[in-house]
Amino acid sequence: AQTVTQSQPEMSVQEAETVTLSCTYDTSESDYYLFWYKQPPSRQMILVIRQEAYKQQNATENRFSVNFQKAAKSFSLKISDSQLGDAAMYFCAYRDRTGANSKLTFGKGITLSVRP
Amino acid sequence: ETGVTQTPRHLVMGMTNKKSLKCEQHLGHNAMYWYKQSAKKPLELMFVYNFKEQTENNSVPSRFSPECPNSSHLFLHLHTLQPEDSALYLCASSQLTGRTEAFFGQGTRLTVV
C-alpha cells in the first residue's frame, strides 16, 4: 500500500522569504502522480502543483516549485516570496497513474503560518 | 470555486436523526470520493465511485451509506451517528485518466450531538 509522510506538523516563514515543506512517500509503482494541495481556513482544498513521476523536470507554478527526487521518494514544495495569503494547511498527496486505482492518498498535512 | 458543490455547509444532528450530504460536480469527471477530515488526523478516504460503481469502501461503518445515482451526483446518507463522527466531510471528483488531480468541494462541517 502507498503511504505519504509529512513529518513536520507546523512551519513558520517571514513574509517575502522562502520556505520548503517536506514530503516523503512509499510505493512499489514506477508511474504515478504527486500533488501538493492547500487548505486555507475557508476549508476549500485547492491544488497547488502536480508532478508526474515519469517527468524528470521539477514542476513549477509561479512562486511554487517542487524538488522531486524519485530514487529517494521525496517530494518537497518550495514557496518563494511568501505572502500572507499562503498561510494554510498544505497536504502532499499520491495517486497511481493507472486508472484502476484512482484514489488519492494524503499525508497528515503541515500548518504553515506567515509572519508579517 | 472548483466546480464541486457540497450542501449543506454546516449540519448539526442528533444521534437518532437521519440526514444526507449532497455533492454535485459539473466538470465531466467520472470518479467521485468522500473523505472525512477530523481534527489532528489525516484525511481519511471513505468511499470511491468510478463510473457510478463503488470501487472502494474503507471499512466505513454502516451508519454511513453512500449513493451515486449518476456521475455528477454523490450522496452520503447518515443515520444513528455517534459524537465521534463529528468532522469535516469533503467530496471530491476527478478523471480516471488524463489530468487526474482531484477537485474538492468546500466540505460539510458535521456536528453530532
CB-closest option in A44, A99, A106 to B43 = A106
Q: Measured between beta carbons, which residues in chain A are less than 8 angstroms from residue B90? A: 45
How sure is the predictor about A100, in pLDDT bands with cuts at 50, 70 and 90?
low
The percentage of chain A sitting over the pLDDT mark of 70, rounded to a whole number, equals 96
The residues that bridge with B76 in the sheet, in sequence order, are B21, B66
B12/A contact by beta carbon, under 8 A: no
User: What is the torsional sign of CA B4, B48, A58, A42?
Assistant: positive
Average model confidence (pLDDT) across chain B? 91
How sure is the predictor about B1, in pLDDT bands with cuts at 50, 70 and 90?
low
C-alpha cell at B59: 471499512
Kindly report, residue by residue over A50-80, the tens digit of the pLDDT: 999 988 899 999 999 999 999 999 999 999 9
- Confidence at residue B50, expressed as pLDDT on a 0 to 100 scale: 85
Tally A–B CB contacts below 8 A.
Answer: 52
CB contact under 8 A, B102 and A91: no
- Confidence at residue B32, expressed as pLDDT on a 0 to 100 scale: 93
A56 Cβ partners below 8 Å, 6+ apart? none
